[in-house]
Amino acid sequence: MVAETSLSVQQLVQPLFVADANNVQKSISAIPGIFQYSLDNILREVEECLKLNLTNFILFPIIEQSLKDDDASYSHHPRNFFFHAIRMIKQEFPETCLIGDVSLNTYHPTGADGIIIDNKVDNDRTLPILAAISLAQCDAGIDILAPSDMMDGRVGYIREVLEDQGFSDISIMAHSVKYASSFYQPFRNLMESNIDNNSKKCYQLNPANIREAIREAQLDIAEDVDFLMVTPALHYLDVIHRIKEQTNLPLAAFHVSGEYAMLKAAAQNGWLDYHQSLEETLISIKRAGADIVISYGAKDFAKLRKS
């Protein structure tokens, strides 16, 4: 009766990793409790989540090293299995809300976020590739695009291309406030990316800054973004709070791989109760001001609600 904050399964998003394989459900050692699914198995996983009232998913592809190149050309190749996966899930389960990660780094041999010129990411040469990835995902049936790199001007650029091509009803949920964080490490281990985090500090945020975070959110709003996002979540609760106070768009927060893996590791050692600490973590992110919480623990939370 006196609880000031509540969190429902409808406000949660489960990340899902898709691999180009058959009949594979492989556990991911870098992110305990999380699996990579082949095209056939992902449908079963989505169905299980739907039975728990969990309908929102953010999708990431796992790309073989041999398909990665400096132009990230496979990222928008018509035969990219990722688009096939999106199409299949949407056709089988139209009631899902599918969010697609839009970035080059999963397709780049070093995990870089853009086209490298003179040892630096070239912002403006990267934008057309982000737009091509976005268009291919829209064609496949994605509901929401989630550009995750922090290139300047990407929201406006993608928006214009979408409008031109008749995709005016697709939403953009940008990682508007993405920190150059060390808490993405488990995700990067999974993607076999060995990028030096410091190299991202010229376009992702310095963990010491909050005013800059507000500026970044305002820039995305000016470019017609539909949802804002703060990434990571748990170490940036004050940032979530400030963005919520100063803006009016739906606000998502990404409880990232390293933040989740910390809970799991402590639980595996018997130092924390996983379910209790997960519930406390997710409600804290909500209390700080997030409307939507993306977490690897979403399905576990949904199970708790059902039991």
Phi, psi (deg, nearest 5) at residue 170: -90, 135
Considering only 18, 42, 101, 278, the residue that binds ligand PBG (CB under 6 A) is: 101
Q: Which two tokens stand for residue 124?
A: 């403006």
Q: Which two tokens stand for residue 135?
A: 């268009």
- Number of amino acids touching ligand PBG (CB under 6 A): 10
- 103 interacts with ligand PBG by CB under 6 A: yes
- The alpha-carbon radius of gyration of the chain (Å, integer) is 18
Residue 149 vs 300, nearer CB to ligand PBG: 149
Q: Of 41-49, 100-108, 151-159, 160-168, which part binds ligand PBG (CB under 6 A)? A: 100-108
- 108 interacts with ligand PBG by CB under 6 A: no
Residue 246 vs 298, nearer CB to ligand PBG: 298
Q: Considering only residues 240 through 259, tell me which ones interact with ligand PBG, judged by CB under 6 A.
A: 256-257
d(CA 103, CA 82): 13
**Distance in Å, CB of 106 to ligand PBG, minimum:** 6
For residue 266, count CB atoms less than 10 angstroms from its CB and return exposed for 0-12, middle for 13-18, buried for 19 or more. middle
Q: For residue 261, which amino acid is it?
A: A
**Distance in Å, CB of 97 to ligand PBG, minimum:** 17
Site map 172..201 versus ligand PBG, x via CB under 6 A: ------------x--xx-------------
**Distance in Å, CB of 48 to ligand PBG, minimum:** 21
- 105 interacts with ligand PBG by CB under 6 A: yes
Phi, psi (deg, nearest 5) at residue 36: -105, 135
Tell me how crowded residue 274 is: count the other CB atoms within 10 A of its CB. Answer: 16
Q: Which two tokens stand for residue 250?
A: 């739906």
**Distance in Å, CB of 169 to ligand PBG, minimum:** 23
Residue 206 vs 246, nearer CB to ligand PBG: 206
What is the b/e burial string over 67-89, where b = at least 16 CB atoms within 10 angstroms of the residue's CB? bbeeebebbbeeebbbbebbebb
Residue 165 vs 274, nearer CB to ligand PBG: 274
Residue 57 vs 187, nearer CB to ligand PBG: 187
**Distance in Å, CB of 61 to ligand PBG, minimum:** 10
Residue 45 vs 149, nearer CB to ligand PBG: 149
> In sequence order, which ranges of the chain are alpha helices (DSSP H)?
39-51, 81-92, 123-140, 154-164, 185-190, 211-222, 237-246, 257-268, 274-288, 298-306
Q: Considering only residues 124 through 163, tell me which ones interact with ligand PBG, judged by CB under 6 A.
A: 148-149
**Nearest CA to 138 among 100, 173, 97?**
100
**Distance in Å, CB of 130 to ligand PBG, minimum:** 11
Residue 38 vs 193, nearer CB to ligand PBG: 193
C-alpha torsion sign, points 220, 222, 224, 226: positive
Our CA angle for 235, 240, 244, nearest 5°, is 175
Site map 21..50 versus ligand PBG, x via CB under 6 A: ------------------------------
Residue 165 vs 207, nearer CB to ligand PBG: 207
- 46 contact partners, CB below 8 Å, separation of at least 6: 16, 57, 89, 92, 93, 96
Q: Which residues of this chain interact with ligand PBG, rule CB under 6 A? A: 101, 103, 105, 148-149, 184, 187-188, 256-257
